[in-house]
Chains A and B, each alone.
Chain A
């Protein structure tokens, strides 16, 4: 029960289901889906304090806790396993080296993500210098015009095996331009807030929102190729 409360509270925090204001229009999946609970556990602050005082086993626990997420993040950004591995290693090493500078103004996880993003982007720029500008791209209203308008059914993801679904999702994000992909991954996969995403990337909140809008719409189009339930002729 407590877990269910946490899950729902997390959804409310994310705004996917507006608190106290159910949509006037019932969507095809009106029931909140089960989502993972918050990434950051309550004992993170204590672990960070211990690690700062030199307790390596506390830092070990932080590594074990976040290594999968940080590797997924760096893979998503770089789209290259070798770069992702290097970026992950350097993110953890740098986070340990700079722990004394960590003031606790943000969550450790967010701070670690920021370091990992920088490491990943540095490698991406090195490998693809012509396509990884974080400057605001030219965006037009044309970008926003939906082309796929088909029903997906209530649970389209359940029509696929887990590995196949993961492949569909990762291929779709890989096709996004890096500036859209990075924002989407931070917001909707790693679950940072808009403000945290802006801070991690050194861009404004409106820029995060603009890129997130485009990323979500483009991914919707890409996933629609797999999930749309076409009308039978």
Chain B
């Protein structure tokens, strides 16, 4: 496993979707390659940061128009 090979597998590695053999090759490579350790770490953080974001409250005007559309089509207002 070289650096290029690791980058190709980095997504499956972080998703835990690699076969044991490839996983072992990656971890051996990581033991001796500081750059790849940084790339794995920062890619992991990229995923974690997005993963932990929560949706913002719906803007009031958007929510009101959505609910008005539902009232019109479904015949009643969704309860808040």
Contacts and interface: CB of A to CB of B under 8 A. Distances in A.
A88 B57 CA distance: 14
A138 interface: no
Contacts of B15: 14-16, 194
Interface residues of B, number: 53
Interface in B1-53: 4, 7-8, 10-12, 14-17, 23, 27-28, 30-31, 35, 37-53
A152 B69 contact: no
A177 interface: no
Contacts, number: 160
A14 B31 CA distance: 24
Nearest to A141: B4
Contacts of B63: 67
- Where chain A touches its partner, the secondary structure class is helix
The winner among A21, A25, A35 for most chain B CB atoms within 10 A is: A25
Nearest to B16: A15
B48 A16 contact: yes
B74 A169 contact: no
A89 B31 CA distance: 51
A216 to B, nearest CB: 6
Nearest to B75: A56
A23 B15 CA distance: 13
Contact of B56 (A25, A36, A72): A72
Contacts of B55: 68-69, 71-72
Contact of A191 (B12, B27, B51): B51
A107 B12 CA distance: 24
Nearest to A23: B27
A93 B70 contact: yes
Contacts of B73: 93, 96
Interface stretch (A40-48, A57-65, A115-123, A127-135): A57-65
Contact of B66 (A92, A149, A209): A92
Interface of B: 4, 7-8, 10-12, 14-17, 23, 27-28, 30-31, 35, 37-58, 62-63, 65-67, 69-70, 73-80
5 contacts: A24-B27, A64-B80, A68-B56, A93-B70, A157-B49
